Homo-oligomer: A and B are copies of this chain.
Amino acid sequence: MRSANSDSKKKHRATIKDVARASGLSSATVSRVLSGYEFVKDGTRSRVMEAVEQLGYVASLPARSLAGGRSRIIGLLVPNLDNGYVGTITQGIDKALSSANCDLVLYTSHRQPSKETYYVNAITNGITEGLLLIAPQFTSTYLAALRERDFPYVLIDQADPTGNSGVVEATNYQGAYEATRYLCKLGHTRIAFIAGALKVHSAAERLRGYKAALAECGIPSSKKLILDGDYQQQGGYEATKHVLSNVDPPPTAVFASNDISAFGAMDAAREHGFSIPDDISIVGFDDVPQTSLVYPKLTTVRQPLEQMGQAAAEMLLERIEDRSRPPQRITLATHLVVRDSCTPPKLQRGERRSPFTETGGSVLPTN
């Protein structure tokens, strides 16, 4: 029975008392050293550190947290994980948090379909010191509960209608404006727009930007070219499929509210027999990692996702330190990243492009 020895004496991990004993000090002092209290003799401090080192001591989070100390754990509420969007933001968060020595608890927002308030309750009663929310849809429910508890939180890529929250976002309006204008300048006049769920602030802003640019370029905006979308690939696919078959003449370009739906648009265009960008130009928004994976590489409005995550985490940390600090709002700049999915529009009606004009693919290698 090899279990005998390992079972007989459960190797209890070192506690603060062990450190106290080993260093000949009180646990209070050890605690002080560990939490960076300044009035301790240098000698004492080093004796403690030595013992800590030697015992491989790491404080128990639950205990520390119960006793009113900081848990150094912050929560992150995400809508999903499968597209690079959340992943990239999270990478930034993680960066900021690890410099601050904090950990991350992941909450997926689909968890409690109905009882959001209960959910927030659970979060705020947990070990978490603060909460980061990535583009939450139901802000009204969450935010009220959070604020009522005076629980620190920061919104990422989503605004608070009441203006009472810490927020990190990007220039959605200008980004969309710039992208649309780029398309106009290329010569496009029939530019479809795939919207995001308009309750999400960024989606509404992007639509505004699109309209503004159109107006500015003297192109009347057409209801038939503004499609409903939901920031999902499927939505982008369907919207595009729809305009391509039902609007005549069809648009020569589509600006999707985010990259994911732009991917759907690409699928639909291709399925419709259009080649990109020759028959139709496509622009996205976000610049998720996949943009340079698709073919042709997607021209898009870059949101500095990683930086946004980092900024949000830092803001949250500050709010945790100092609860009285008024809510800040950081807006980071977007910019257009021109890749391969756009060209000037084809010639007028009557002309048809040969279906075999794809990029250099069909050429045989010479070696």
A365 interface residue, CB < 8 Å from B?
yes
* Most interface-central of A60, A106, A117 (chain B CB within 10 A): A106
Whether a CB of chain B sits under 8 angstroms from the CB of A215 is no
Instruction: Please tell me if the beta carbons of A62 and B71 are within 8 angstroms of each other in the complex.
Output: yes
Q: What is the CA–CA distance of A91 and B59 in the complex, to the nearest angstrom? A: 31
Q: How far is the CA of A80 from the CA of B63 in the complex (A)?
A: 30
Q: Does A107 have its Cβ within 8 Å of any Cβ on chain B? A: yes
CA distance in complex: A86, B84 (Å): 11
How many Å from the CB of A245 to the closest CB on chain B?
Answer: 10
- Please give, as numbers and ranges, the residues of chain B lying within 8 Å of A11 by CB-CB distance: 148-149
Quick one: closest B residue to A88, CB to CB? B82
Tell me, yes or no, whether A8 is within 8 Å of chain B by CB: no
Q: Mark A73-103, 1 if CB is under 8 A from B, else 0.
A: 1001000111110111011001000100001
Indicate which residue in B84, B127, B275 contacts A62 across the interface (CB closer than 8 Å): B127
Give Cα distance in the complex from A365 to B250, angstroms: 11
**Of the 9-residue stretches A221-229, A288-296, A310-318, A327-335, which lies at the interface with chain B?**
A288-296
Let me know if A121 and B56 touch, CB within 8 A.
Answer: yes
With known contacts A87-B87, A91-B82, A273–B365 Cβ distance under 8 A: yes
A357 part of interface (Cβ distance < 8 Å): no
- Binary B-proximity of A270-303 (CB < 8 A = 1, otherwise 0): 0001110011000000000110011100000000
Interface: A255 (CB within 8 A): no
Which residues of chain B have C-beta atoms less than 8 A from A106's C-beta? 76, 90, 94, 103-106
Q: Is A360 close to B, CB under 8 A?
A: yes
Flag A97-136 by CB within 8 Å of B: 1 or 0 each. Answer: 0100001111110010000011001101111000000000
How distant is the Cα of A125 from the Cα of B250 in the complex, in angstroms? 61
Contact B62 A121 (CB under 8 A): no
A13 within 8 A of partner (CB): yes
Q: Copies per complex?
A: 2
Residues of A within 8 A of B (CB-CB), count? 69
Q: Would A121 and B274 count as touching, CB distance under 8 A?
A: no
What B residues does A363 contact at CB under 8 A? 273, 275
The residue that A362 contacts in the complex, of B80, B263, B278, with Cβ under 8 A, is B278
Neighbour of A98 across the interface among B80, B108, B263, B273, CB < 8 A: B108
Q: Which residue of B lies closest to A66 (CB)?
A: B62
Q: Is A61 an interface residue (CB 8 A)?
A: yes
Which of chain B's residues has its CB closest to A291's CB? B293
Which B residues lie within 8 Å of A26 (CB)? Answer: none
Q: Counting CB contacts under 8 A, is A361 at the interface? A: yes
Find residues 1-27 in chain A having any chain B CB closer than 8 Å to their own CB: 3, 6, 10-11, 13
Q: Is A150 interfacial (CB-CB < 8 Å)?
A: yes
- A58 interface residue per 8 A CB criterion: yes
Q: Which of A61, A121, A324 lies at the interface centre, i.e. has the most chain B CB atoms within 10 A of its CB?
A: A61
- Does A232 count as interface, using CB distance less than 8 angstroms? no
Q: List 13 extra interface pairs beyond A62-B127, A82-B91, CB under 8 A.
A: A6-B150, A13-B125, A61-B125, A94-B106, A98-B111, A104-B105, A104-B106, A127-B127, A248-B367, A274-B365, A275-B360, A275-B361, A295-B295
Q: Name A's B-contacting residues (CB within 8 A).
A: 3, 6, 10-11, 13, 56, 58-63, 65-66, 71, 73, 76, 80-84, 86-88, 90-91, 94, 98, 103-108, 111, 117-118, 121-122, 124-127, 148-150, 248, 250, 263, 273-275, 278-279, 289-290, 293-295, 324, 346, 360-365, 367
